[in-house]
């Protein structure tokens, strides 16, 4: 800190030294032209006296400014820097008018920043409330459509009509999933409020999800395969958010498998050291190597998204965000034409470090 203080005053010290030398030189030349003897001891005493006053002046000035400099140095180490820094500085004894003007300007800047931040937060909250209410309103007609198509299938005997209702139901399911995706994205900013850590039976959860999507497996002629090396695999997580992740990965496996070919979608749950791994593997079109680094980016659909028009580029982004918030790892391995494996890794310390 003192090094920075002296560096800022290097120019002042330099001119002070030049001024002292100039005075001594003038005195020397005056005595020389007057034909008098030069009192070198007096010159040396004058130099020492000048240096003494310089050091005393710097010491007094540094002592006055040291508390403020120390406070600013400590604040600079904070990350992120709080908006109350100007008020903290104003509460101190300000050693100079320059510092007072600077702190006043900093306070006005922070107050304006806070007002704009509050304004945008308010707009964001209003937007989230609107999205949440709109999604809830839309879920009612989606449920009604699903109920009507089920009733229609029970009452109609014509096979073409049943197929037509199945197609309506499939599109309705896509719409429902899109609404749920939007709702989860809106809730993600309040993740900490909506988070409940507990032991989760991951095998039972995955079996439940597979059972929910059995109609998709049948329609796409795909076969679920669950491989478990231990039935009692418990992980620490939030079951509701974890369900969102697994559901999205399962839907992706269904979507990108080869349709109608009788392929398997394999879900493997196993231990690897202290960690528990869940792998959801399809044997579908795979992901090109140049797209793999970006598949968890928002709105990225890549080459496969151009073929599968229902891709939004938000499913894997949301899954990665949730996994990160939960403290789990989510990553992918894929080869074109051979399929994709999405892996969720639960470390033994998961959630304990949160």
Tens digit of each residue's pLDDT (9 = 90 or more) over 207-246: 999 998 888 898 889 999 999 987 678 888 999 999 999 9
Does one domain contain both 200 and 343?
yes
- 71 assigned to some structural domain: yes
Supply the range of the domain harboring residue 23. Answer: 1-81
Do the domain assignments include residue 292? yes
What pTM does this model have?
0.66
Q: Tell me whether residue 95 is in a domain.
A: no
Give the contacts of 296 (CB within 8 A, at least 6 positions apart).
316, 317, 319, 320, 330
Q: CB of 316 within 8 A of CB of 296?
A: yes
Instruction: Say whether pLDDT at 95 is over 80.
Output: no
Number of residues that this document lists for the chain: 354
Given 81, 115, 133, the domain boundary residue is 81
* SS3 of residue 250 by DSSP: helix
CA distances from 126 to 116, 142, 194, 251 (A): 15, 24, 19, 31
**154 within domain boundaries:** no
CATH number at residue 253: 3.30.565.10
Q: Of the candidates 20, 55, 81, which is a domain's last residue?
A: 81
**In-domain check, residue 139:** no
Judge whether residue 354 has pLDDT over 50.
Answer: no
147 domain-assigned: no
Q: Are residues 75 and 211 in the same domain?
A: no
End residue of a domain, out of 15, 50, 81? 81
List, for residues 259-298, the tens digit of each pLDDT value: 888 899 999 999 888 889 999 999 988 999 999 999 999 8
Residue 185 CB burial class (10 angstroms; 0-12, 13-18, ≥19): middle
User: What is the total count of domains within the chain?
Assistant: 2
Q: Determine contact, residues 220/283, Cβ cutoff 8 Å.
A: no
């Amino acid at each position: 800190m003192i090094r920075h203080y002296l560096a800022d005053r290097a120019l002042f010290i330099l001119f002070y030294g030049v001024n002292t030398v100039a005075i001594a030189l003038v005195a020397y030349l005056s005595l020389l032209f007057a034909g008098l003897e030069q009192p070198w001891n007096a010159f040396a005493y004058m130099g020492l006296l000048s240096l003494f006053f310089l050091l005393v002046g710097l010491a007094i000035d540094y002592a006055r400014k040291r508390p403020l400099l120390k406070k600013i140095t400590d604040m600079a180490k904070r990350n992120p820097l709080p908006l109350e820094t100007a008020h903290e500085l104003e509460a101190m004894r300000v050693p100079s008018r320059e510092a007072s003007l600077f702190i006043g300007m900093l306070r006005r800047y922070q107050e304006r920043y806070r007002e704009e931040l509050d304004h945008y937060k308010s707009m964001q909250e209003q937007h989230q409330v609107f999205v949440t209410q709109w999604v809830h309103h839309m879920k009612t007609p989606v449920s009604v459509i699903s109920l009507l198509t089920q009733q229609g299938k029970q009452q109609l005997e014509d096979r073409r009509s049943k197929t037509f209702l199945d197609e309506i139901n499939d599109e309705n399911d896509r719409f429902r999933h899109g609404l749920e995706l939007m709702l989860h994205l809106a809730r993600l900013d309040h993740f900490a409020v909506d988070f409940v850590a507990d032991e989760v039976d991951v095998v039972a959860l995955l079996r439940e999800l597979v059972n929910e999507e059995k109609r998709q497996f049948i329609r796409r002629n795909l076969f679920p395969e669950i491989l478990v090396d231990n039935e009692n695999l418990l992980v620490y997580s939030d079951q509701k958010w974890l369900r969102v992740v697994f559901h999205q990965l399962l839907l992706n496996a269904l979507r990108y498998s080869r349709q109608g070919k009788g392929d398997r979608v394999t879900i493997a749950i196993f231990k690897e050291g202290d960690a528990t791994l869940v792998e959801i593997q399809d044997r579908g079109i795979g992901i090109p190597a140049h797209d793999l680094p970006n598949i968890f980016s928002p709105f990225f659909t890549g080459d496969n998204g151009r073929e599968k028009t229902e891709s939004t580029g938000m499913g894997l982004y949301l899954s990665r965000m949730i996994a990160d918030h939960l403290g789990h790892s989510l990553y992918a391995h894929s080869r074109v034409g051979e399929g994709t494996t999405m892996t969720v890794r639960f470390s033994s310390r998961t959630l304990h470090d949160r």
